[in-house]
């Protein structure tokens, strides 16, 4: 255990310039440390399109009133977060997305950007805000019409009307179309009767339902004139001013959860509760006084998905918040790893800084690269979201693309958040397990992100089906010759234009890899080719496997699909990874500063190679990499880690977090102070001549 170390590299002034004058890839850590990133510029890059709003939000949450208090019992935590929501209102942070006439700013991108930063204060606050203004309020805004906006939006913004978003039921989560709650129109009284006919139809897991919600947007099967028109949304008052349930309404507290215990999740049930016809949020479907149903969207399926799609912002928001939460964990663990020492190297030197260990570099650096990729990909997603919801690019095609993009990115970023935070917690040892150092709390709070607002596997399956249908469109009426041509030549960018895949617009300058032949085969365009080729091939393979389905009966076809479900989900994951890689590359290409560009290019390469290594067996089996080249992937990653090691602190400092955002004692400099104190003690002891000699050295003398 005591002979494992390299020393932290020292800055060098040597410069290698080859005969031709072109830059040569540095091969040693000393050389790699020469270029430096422009930290402030990288912070701007990561904060993205709505950097100003993000900075405002970060400034706001420097106030300790917004901070999570570790170990606070659930009841107090819930009240604290409710009070924090009021603080958000006071700070004008509650309504950036709402129409100007109700006090909002009509700025959808900025709104989500601002809320995502709140995760730094307390994820419970971010999610409870999301319930109030992103789900409950958005349902009114997106699914309701002007009369509903006039009636409720102002009170939603000010929190005078706290509400729950009552979609999920105990018996139905991802399959919203099959919920059991009914809203039956009664033309006699011009009312809807809201009813949960069995236990499985109870609304469940709803924030604001256990305590604070005065009303709810309730999703129910709309039944009028003996016909079920599918799921629609209704505004249903829940509690009186004293907080008591209104007649016919009951509920339960979901109690303690794995995290997010500042939110009062609960269950609701309705026993023939009557609400006026007015309360149906009727933008996409209307019921006349006599019970006649009308809708602009004739297809029940398309209408359902249009309504759900109007609520996509939850997924967009989770993608961003998970990315920021992951960054916080990486900042903490990397800062600690740069100060903490453990074991001497056996070379008679000081104990070794954790990040100088090869394994520790391998644990953290690829995760920083992955997190950077998520930042760039998220900004693209947020811009697409803003384009659609501002009305600037609001077409059905754009909406569908947005939904697919959100469904591809949210699973990856939320899963990455959990695995990265866990790795960070383990990399900090026992200190990482203390709540004060925040890593365990982040993991607990972000845990549910992977299954809410769409279970990650279900979302990826949606993406997979979109990829399959884009693929199939190419072959409408195609002959065998065309199919064969496709199989050998077509590029992914041409096939999947709809879902965001594209060719790189230019040859990416790859400063890090001109000198070594092995790296020559793994430069940016080869990375892209491997990643894109994998998506293309996987989709084609699943499509080929499913081709017989059209000739089977429904049960056999379902069984066939089921046999390939896991592969389809894998294809969708590969697609999401490619999107992240492309976004990262686009971001790097736009950088002007040479040092920044060089280091970020290495980081992008590390991300690309990390993805290729993860799926190395696939690339080998499918003949995309020779065994020789495949073997070089891991070695190249090792070299990239060594190159990037001197930049690790810069890269996590570039997240731009202030001490008020980090708040982890182990990342505060306290560890450095302890190391310095210990070394000063031993130095003084040695100088004093009173230091005990070691038994070992005595034995050697004998």
Evaluate whether 288 touches 224 at the Cβ level (below 8 Å): no
Residues 6+ apart with CB under 8 A from 583: 373, 376, 377, 379, 380
The mark string for 607-636 relative to its own copies (x by CB under 8 A, - otherwise) is ------x--xx--xx-x---x--xx-----
Residues numbered 158-187 forming contacts with its own copies, rule: CB under 8 A: 168, 170-175, 177-178, 180
Q: What sections of 448-489 are H helices per DSSP?
A: 456-473, 480-489
The reply on whether position 541 binds its own copies by CB under 8 A is no
Nearer to its own copies (CB atom), residue 53 or residue 334: 334
Nearer to its own copies (CB atom), residue 224 or residue 596: 224
The reply on whether position 695 binds its own copies by CB under 8 A is yes
Could you tell me which of 411, 455, 403, 418 has the C-alpha nearest to residue 571?
411
Q: Which stretch binds its own copies (CB under 8 A): 153-161, 513-521, 588-596, 675-683?
A: 675-683
Q: Please state the closest distance from residue 340 (CB atom) to its own copies, in A.
A: 9
The helix (H) or strand (E) run that includes residue 206 is strand 203-206
Nearer to its own copies (CB atom), residue 46 or residue 499: 499
Evaluate whether 236 touches 184 at the Cβ level (below 8 Å): no
The mark string for 368-407 relative to its own copies (x by CB under 8 A, - otherwise) is ----------------------------------------
The helix (H) or strand (E) run that includes residue 221 is strand 215-224
Nearer to its own copies (CB atom), residue 16 or residue 614: 614
Q: Which stretch binds its own copies (CB under 8 A): 10-18, 142-150, 193-201, 389-397?
A: 193-201
The mark string for 3-32 relative to its own copies (x by CB under 8 A, - otherwise) is xxxxx-------------------------
Find the angle CA(557)-CA(408)-CA(591) to the nearest 5 degrees.
Answer: 150
Q: Please state the closest distance from residue 51 (CB atom) to its own copies, in A.
A: 33
Evaluate whether 70 touches 124 at the Cβ level (below 8 Å): no
Beta pairing partners, 236? 216
Nearer to its own copies (CB atom), residue 151 or residue 434: 434
Could you tell me which of 581, 584, 579 has the C-alpha nearest to residue 405?
579
Evaluate whether 249 touches 268 at the Cβ level (below 8 Å): yes
Q: Please state the closest distance from residue 139 (CB atom) to its own copies, in A.
A: 19
Query: What b-and-e string marks burial along 388-411, b requiring 16 or more CB atoms within 10 Å of the CB?
Result: bbeeebeeeeebbbbbbbbbbbbb
With 0-12 CB in 10 A as exposed, 13-18 as middle and 19+ as buried, what is 105? middle
Q: Which stretch binds its own copies (CB under 8 A): 272-280, 374-382, 441-449, 485-493?
A: 441-449
SS3 31: helix
SS3 571: helix
Tokens describing residue 320: 């961003």
Q: Which stretch binds its own copies (CB under 8 A): 211-219, 227-235, 469-477, 506-514?
A: 227-235
What Rg do the C-alpha atoms of the chain give, in angstroms? 28
Q: Which stretch binds its own copies (CB under 8 A): 104-112, 233-241, 251-259, 595-603?
A: 251-259
Interacting residue with its own copies among 30, 106, 155, 343 (CB under 8 A): 343
How far apart CA 470 and CA 464 sit, in angstroms, is 10
Residue identified by tokens 């960054």 is 327
Neighbouring CB atoms inside 10 A of 386's CB total: 23
Interacting residue with its own copies among 199, 272, 485, 497 (CB under 8 A): 199
The reply on whether position 357 binds its own copies by CB under 8 A is yes
Residues numbered 285-314 forming contacts with its own copies, rule: CB under 8 A: 293, 300-301
Residues numbered 452-491 forming contacts with its own copies, rule: CB under 8 A: 452, 455-458, 461-462, 465
Q: Please state the closest distance from residue 287 (CB atom) to its own copies, in A.
A: 13
How far apart CA 150 and CA 102 sit, in angstroms, is 8
Interacting residue with its own copies among 10, 551, 693, 701 (CB under 8 A): 693
The reply on whether position 271 binds its own copies by CB under 8 A is no
Residues numbered 561-580 forming contacts with its own copies, rule: CB under 8 A: 561-566, 569
Q: Please state the closest distance from residue 146 (CB atom) to its own copies, in A.
A: 26
How far apart CA 87 and CA 494 sit, in angstroms, is 49
Interacting residue with its own copies among 440, 468, 524, 599 (CB under 8 A): 440
């Amino acid at each position: 255990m005591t002979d494992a170390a390299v020393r932290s590299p020292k800055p060098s002034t040597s410069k290698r310039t080859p005969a031709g004058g072109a830059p040569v890839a540095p091969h040693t850590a000393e050389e790699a440390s020469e270029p430096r990133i422009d930290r402030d510029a990288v912070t701007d890059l990561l904060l993205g399109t709505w950097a100003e709003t993000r900075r405002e939000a970060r400034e706001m949450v420097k106030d300790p009133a917004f901070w999570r208090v570790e170990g606070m019992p659930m009841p107090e935590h819930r009240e604290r977060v409710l009070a924090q929501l009021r603080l958000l209102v006071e700070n004008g942070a509650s309504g950036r997305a709402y129409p100007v006439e109700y006090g909002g700013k009509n700025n959808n991108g900025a709104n989500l950007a601002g809320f995502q930063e709140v995760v730094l204060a307390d994820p419970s606050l971010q999610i409870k805000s999301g319930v109030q203004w992103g789900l409950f309020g958005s349902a009114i805004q997106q699914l309701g019409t002007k009369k509903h906006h006039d009636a409720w939006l102002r009170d939603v913004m000010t929190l005078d009307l706290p509400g729950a978003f009552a979609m999920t039921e105990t018996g139905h989560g991802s399959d919203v179309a099959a919920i059991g709650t009914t809203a039956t129109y009664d033309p006699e009284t011009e009312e809807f009767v809201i009813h949960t006919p069995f236990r499985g139809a109870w609304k469940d897991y709803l924030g604001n339902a256990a305590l604070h919600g005065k009303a709810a947007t309730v999703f129910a099967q709309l039944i009028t004139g003996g016909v079920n028109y599918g799921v629609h949304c209704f505004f249903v008052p829940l509690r009186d001013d004293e907080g008591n349930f209104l007649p016919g309404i009951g509920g339960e507290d979901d109690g303690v959860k794995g995290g997010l215990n500042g939110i009062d999740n609960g269950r609701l049930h309705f026993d023939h509760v009557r609400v006026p016809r007015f309360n149906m949020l009727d933008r996409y479907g209307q019921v006349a006084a006599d019970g006649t149903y009308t809708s602009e969207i004739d297809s029940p399926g398309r209408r359902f998905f249009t309504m759900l799609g109007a609520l996509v912002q939850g997924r967009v928001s989770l993608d961003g918040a998970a990315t920021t939460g992951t960054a916080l964990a990486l900042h903490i663990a990397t800062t600690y790893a740069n100060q903490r020492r453990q074991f001497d190297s056996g070379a008679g030197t000081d104990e070794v800084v954790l990040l100088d260990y090869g394994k520790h570099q391998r644990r953290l650096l690829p995760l920083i690269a992955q997190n950077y990729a998520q930042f760039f990909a998220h900004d693209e997603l947020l811009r697409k979201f803003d384009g659609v919801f501002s009305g600037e690019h609001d077409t059905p095609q754009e909406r569908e693309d947005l939904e697919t993009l959100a469904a591809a990115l949210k699973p990856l970023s939320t899963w990455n958040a959990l695995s990265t935070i866990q790795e960070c917690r383990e990399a900090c040892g026992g200190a990482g397990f203390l709540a004060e150092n925040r890593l365990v709390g982040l993991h607990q709070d972000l845990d549910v992100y992977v299954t809410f607002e769409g279970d990650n596997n279900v979302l990826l399956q949606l993406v997979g089906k979109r990829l399959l249908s884009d693929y199939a469109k190419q072959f409408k009426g195609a002959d065998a010759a065309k199919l064969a041509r496709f199989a050998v030549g077509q590029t992914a960018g041409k096939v999947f234009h709809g879902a965001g895949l594209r060719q790189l617009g230019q040859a990416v300058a790859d400063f890090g890899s001109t000198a070594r032949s092995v790296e020559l085969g793994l430069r940016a365009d080869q990375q892209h080719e491997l990643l894109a080729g994998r998506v293309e091939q996987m989709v084609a393979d699943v499509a080929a496997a499913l081709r017989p389905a059209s000739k089977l009966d429904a049960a056999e076809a379902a069984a066939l699909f089921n046999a390939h479900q896991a592969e389809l989900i894998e294809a969708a994951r590969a697609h999401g990874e490619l999107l992240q890689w492309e976004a990262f590359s686009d971001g790097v290409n736009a950088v002007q500063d040479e040092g920044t560009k060089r280091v970020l290019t290495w980081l992008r390469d590390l991300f690309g190679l990390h993805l290729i290594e993860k799926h190395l067996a696939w690339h080998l089996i499918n003949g995309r990499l020779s065994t020789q080249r495949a073997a070089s992937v891991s070695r190249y990653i090792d070299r990239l880690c060594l190159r990037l090691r001197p930049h690790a602190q810069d890269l996590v400092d570039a997240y731009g977090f202030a001490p008020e955002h980090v708040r982890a004692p182990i990342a505060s400099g306290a560890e450095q102070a302890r190391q310095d104190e210990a070394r000063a003690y031993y130095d003084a002891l040695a100088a004093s001549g009173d230091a005990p000699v070691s038994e070992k050295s005595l034995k050697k003398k004998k």
